[in-house]
Amino acid sequence: MKILVVGNGGREHALAWKLSNDSTKPELFCTPGNAGTAELGTNLTFGATDLDGIKQWCIENQPGLVVIGPEAPLCAGMADVLEAEGFRVFGPNQAAAELEGSKKFAKEIMKAAGVPTSAYETFTHPDEACAYVRERGAPIVIKADGLAAGKGVTVAETVGQAEIAIRNALEGSAFGNAGSRVVIEDFLMGEEASILALIDGENVVMLASSQDHKRIFEKDEGPNTGGMGAYSPASIVTESVLKKVKTEVYDRMLTELKKRGITYKGVLYAGLMIDNGQPSVVEFNCRFGDPEIQAILARWDGDMLPAINALIDGTLSEDLIQWKDEHSVCVVMVAGGYPGDYGKGDEIQNLGKANAVDDTVVFHAGTALDDDRVVTAGGRVLGITSLGTDLPDALSKAYIAVETISFKNAFYRNDIGHREIKRL
């Protein structure tokens, strides 16, 4: 069977890796892919949001499955377009993907559903937004309403910072159309964790817990990034937290979505803040987390295709997914300067040696092929992912591999998993 994976990041390389190792040995295509996916199958040249190009390729090549990785094509309705042509698609339809496409919509659904989340208001006028912030005080969170490639959130420590963020979004062009409305939320205390769930429209199966590290610098300092590393499982997510996430978050969301005539089929990512054992939702994403999925897939025992097929067929159940007892970690290597400006086209060395480290896979994110050289092509370049008997064991393997790899201005955090290590 032919499988097409849409996207070109670390998430898509990890998905392509897992699917290409399936016991049914599918033929893998990725569009546009990266240097890592090129080793697993064929990279196509369509951009991830080229709905017409991808639809035409599907009509001509009849893949048995299309896995849509990133939020942009999902929010643009790629699943709807391909399903209308009769293709089996993994990824929610456009109406469901709006949970990530509009922060305002996600908050409205959460509020109506009674899902625990912070108080909020939405604004299109900067003076009204600033007045609200002055009344509410800091810290406070300013979010661009639409998709902003992971850059639309400001956690403002002071009212002044909040006002700058508001004016940048509503008066400047910091986020284009995505920032023409802002959602202003109360700051939530606690520790973050990610729970991703597969949903077939009716049944919810939560995946192994994980924790991302969003800030660029160690000790969680500096600006937010797409994610600098993740580990799984995250012990902050206890059995009791998991039960609450299922009943208070996923079940309530599904009931509310159904009430509005929206069917959710795909993965729904709940970014959580956990305070004293009580989870609250910080954000929803309509796709797998990156780098969370690299760490999660390393622990997925056996084939992933049966779960994906069951999700599409509406027969999803817990017994389709087993987890390895081992712990996993993904350490992200970025191009120096990220999440600001960074260089591209720098040769990456020793990938083979790093891949040879025990229980380790080097997932490519921002990489490209330049003749036979692998070069940097994005801010997040690689996600070095290792399994170990415990988190310290996984970390020691991952960092051996990280230190083996070199490219100009490579940068990574040395403290991935620091909260869990402290707990140990």
417, two tokens: 């998993």
**Residue 197 and residue 270 in contact, taking contact as beta carbons nearer than 8 Å:** yes
Number of residues that make up the chain: 424
Q: How many residues at the interface with ligand GLY, by CB under 6 A?
A: 7
CB 292, min distance to ligand GLY, A: 6
Nearer to ligand GLY, 209 or 404 (CB): 209
Q: Which stretch binds ligand GLY (CB under 6 A): 26-34, 274-282, 287-295, 379-387?
A: 287-295
| Strand-pair category, 89-90 with 65-68 | parallel
Nearer to ligand GLY, 55 or 103 (CB): 103
CA distance 315 to 160: 51
Nearer to ligand GLY, 50 or 212 (CB): 212
Q: Which stretch binds ligand GLY (CB under 6 A): 182-190, 236-244, 286-294, 319-327?
A: 286-294
By CB under 6 A, tell whether 289 contacts ligand GLY.
yes
Site string for ligand GLY, 292-331 (x = CB under 6 A): x---------------------------------------
Laid out side by side, the sheet with 89-90 consists of 42-43, 27-32, 2-7, 65-68, 89-90
CA distance 69 to 15: 8
- Distance from the Cα of residue 409 to its chain's centroid: 25
CB 207, min distance to ligand GLY, A: 13
CB 206, min distance to ligand GLY, A: 16
CA distance 326 to 307: 21
**Residue 332 and residue 227 in contact, taking contact as beta carbons nearer than 8 Å:** yes
CB 280, min distance to ligand GLY, A: 17
Q: Any idea which residue has 């998430």 for tokens?
A: 11
Q: Which stretch binds ligand GLY (CB under 6 A): 47-55, 183-191, 289-297, 385-393?
A: 289-297
Angle at 38 between CA 36 and CA 39, to 5 degrees: 75
Name the residue whose CB lies closest to ligand GLY.
227
SS3 label, residue 21: coil
Indicate which single residue of 39, 50, 185, 212 sits in contact with ligand GLY (rule: CB under 6 A). 212
Indicate which single residue of 290, 326, 346, 420 sits in contact with ligand GLY (rule: CB under 6 A). 290
Positions in 13-52 near ligand GLY (CB under 6 A): none
CB 150, min distance to ligand GLY, A: 6
Q: Which stretch binds ligand GLY (CB under 6 A): 252-260, 284-292, 338-346, 376-384?
A: 284-292
CB 20, min distance to ligand GLY, A: 22
Nearer to ligand GLY, 102 or 285 (CB): 285
Going from the C-alpha of 122 to that of each of 118, 150, 181, the distances in angstroms are 13, 19, 7
CA distance 366 to 388: 26
CB 149, min distance to ligand GLY, A: 10
CB 53, min distance to ligand GLY, A: 25
CB 105, min distance to ligand GLY, A: 17
SS3 label, residue 46: coil
Nearer to ligand GLY, 26 or 229 (CB): 229
Q: Which stretch binds ligand GLY (CB under 6 A): 117-125, 256-264, 282-290, 359-367?
A: 282-290
Q: Which residues pair with 205 in a beta bridge?
A: 198
Indicate which single residue of 70, 91, 227, 279 sits in contact with ligand GLY (rule: CB under 6 A). 227
CB 137, min distance to ligand GLY, A: 27
CA distance 310 to 200: 8
Nearer to ligand GLY, 16 or 228 (CB): 228
**Residue 4 and residue 18 in contact, taking contact as beta carbons nearer than 8 Å:** no
Nearer to ligand GLY, 36 or 383 (CB): 383
Ramachandran quadrant class, 201 (left: phi over 0; alpha: psi -120 to 50; beta: rest): left
**Residue 63 and residue 4 in contact, taking contact as beta carbons nearer than 8 Å:** yes
Sign of the torsion angle spanned by Cα atoms 18, 20, 24, 26: positive
CB 146, min distance to ligand GLY, A: 15
**Residue 67 and residue 236 in contact, taking contact as beta carbons nearer than 8 Å:** no
Nearer to ligand GLY, 163 or 212 (CB): 212
**Residue 90 and residue 68 in contact, taking contact as beta carbons nearer than 8 Å:** yes
Q: Any idea which residue has 């803040």 for tokens?
A: 273
Interface ranges with ligand GLY (CB under 6 A): 212, 226-227, 285, 289-290, 292
